[in-house]
Amino acid sequence: MIKNFSIKKQIITGFLVVLFGSIILTIITFVCMFSWWMNGGSSTVHPADYYQNKIPIIENYAKEKGENLLKENEQSSLEKLIPTEGIKYQIINEKGIYYYGNITESIINKENPLVKNINLKINGKNNVNNITYYIPLCNNNGELKGSLVLNYNIAVSATSFLDFIPIVLLFLSPFIYITILSYLISNKIGKRISKPITDLIAASHRIKDKDLDFHIEYDANNEVGELVQAFEKMRAELENSLSREWALREERREYINAISHDLKTPLTIVKGHAEGLQSGMWRNEELLLRYLSTIESNANRMAKLLSEFNMINELEVRSFNLFLVNSEIEYFLKRRIMEYNYLMEKKNIYFSFEIKNDKQIKNFILDQERISQVIDNIIMNSIRFTPDNGKIHVTVCINTKQLQFHIVDSGPGFEPKDISKIFNQFYQGDPSRSKNKSHSGLGLYIAKTIIEKHQGEIHADNNSKYGGAHIWFIIPN
């Protein structure tokens, strides 16, 4: 949900989460610390006069020991009594010479003799709560032999340094929580923004390298999402545009190759026969007639090919319009299909034809000339590839919504790999080019174009009835 917010709104939301989150967590921390304190946690904290209250015990011990404390073997016993974590001490003689203790610097000197400080509690110069107390060490005769110097602070303190950590953390907790929450929230927002931007940069490099086969997915409904969607639309449009351009280049190349291929053979034949006539063969009447017949048939073949090229150009022009008329459909179809009886009889092909018109539809709107071209191309293909003594069957289904035209034959059919290509320009397939050179491969492409102009569709596959090809088209009424 939050990722759908605008970037500004995400930043404001993140700021509020950090603010209120740190406040709530700090309150929880204070409550927990107070609960801990009330349940015995305070035993680890000494009151301000804690170490001062220890002084009388230490003082009595020093008076009992007297000058014996000047001996270093007394150090361990003394330190068992003195809480050294809060009280520093020093053993000196009457001249101020240091014997032992955790205060090593010299305090007593000629200007500040020991006798002037005995039994005095002296406040520190910079800290009045810092106390230095001089306890006299005397011999059995009461003579001053040295001093036990104690230094301590009158302030709340912990039993050890580690006990200060919870207190320090308590006061630092708001800043700690703000830092942690700020990092987490900024990292989260940063990832939401940086990932699509990184993807866009990578995508721009791929486009620069002419690689458009990818998709960018980012479903957030914010400024970044709009940018990604706009970029993806641009990429898709570029991909479509380049695909169309590549397809047109490939189509143009195939177009030129096909024209060259299909014109080369008849031109070669015409040229060869013309050269034969020029060499004197025209004197032989039989050869003359045969050569002229061959030249004429190949000239007709080239004329037909050029006519088909012109027809394709005409059909592909956007301004091309069909001449739609309300046709008496059954009469039109029977008349057109029966025209092929002679060609089928020449190959002894068994031909059957039926019209299914249960609704007795009389009229159907179509362009008779163009549909005649479609039927001609489809039936002539079947006749061409159906062997002698083969079979061809045509079925037409008519209802109020559409007309369906089906033709099946017992020819070799289509190779499965070629079925998706047979309506392409210049498709002939390997069997066609090896067995028959008399067609250009434009017929089914022209048929497809005409059917699509009628807002219909045309398909092809292999039939199970005769084992050959099956072509059918549908046009709406």
Q: How far apart are CA 143 and CA 94, in angstroms?
A: 10
Q: How far apart are CA 124 and CA 154, in angstroms?
A: 11
> CB–CB of 333/397 below 8 Å?
no
Amino acid type, 311: M
Q: How far apart are CA 427 and CA 246, in angstroms?
A: 19
Torsion of CA 271, 272, 278, 284, to 10 degrees: -130
Query: How confident is the model at residue 437, as a pLDDT?
Result: 46
Query: How confident is the model at residue 330, as a pLDDT?
Result: 93
Query: How confident is the model at residue 432, as a pLDDT?
Result: 44
> CB–CB of 330/355 below 8 Å?
yes
CATH value of 212-318 in 1.10.287.130, 3.40.50.970, 3.40.50.1970, 3.20.20.70: 1.10.287.130
The CATH code belonging to domain 46-155 is 3.30.450
> CB–CB of 184/72 below 8 Å?
no
Q: Which residues make up the CATH 3.30.450 domain(s) of the chain?
A: 46-155
Q: Which residues make up the CATH 3.30.565.10 domain(s) of the chain?
A: 321-476
Instruction: Please give the angle made by the CA atoms of 300, 409 and 432, to the nearest 5 degrees.
Output: 45
Query: How confident is the model at residue 433, as a pLDDT?
Result: 37
pTM, full prediction: 0.45
**Quick one: tokens of 22?**
């740190």
Q: Which residues of the chain have pLDDT under 50?
A: 430-437
Q: Which residues make up the CATH 1.10.287.130 domain(s) of the chain?
A: 212-318
Superfamily of domain 321-476: Histidine kinase-like ATPase, C-terminal domain (3.30.565.10)
Query: How confident is the model at residue 278, as a pLDDT?
Result: 81
Query: How confident is the model at residue 428, as a pLDDT?
Result: 63
Tokens 């009280």 -> residue: 87
Q: How far apart are CA 153 and CA 132, in angstroms?
A: 9
| Among 74, 71, 76, 102, CA closest to 87 | 102
Instruction: Classify 100 as helix, strand or coil.
Output: strand
Q: How far apart are CA 160 and CA 46, in angstroms?
A: 10
Q: How far apart are CA 346 and CA 343, in angstroms?
A: 5
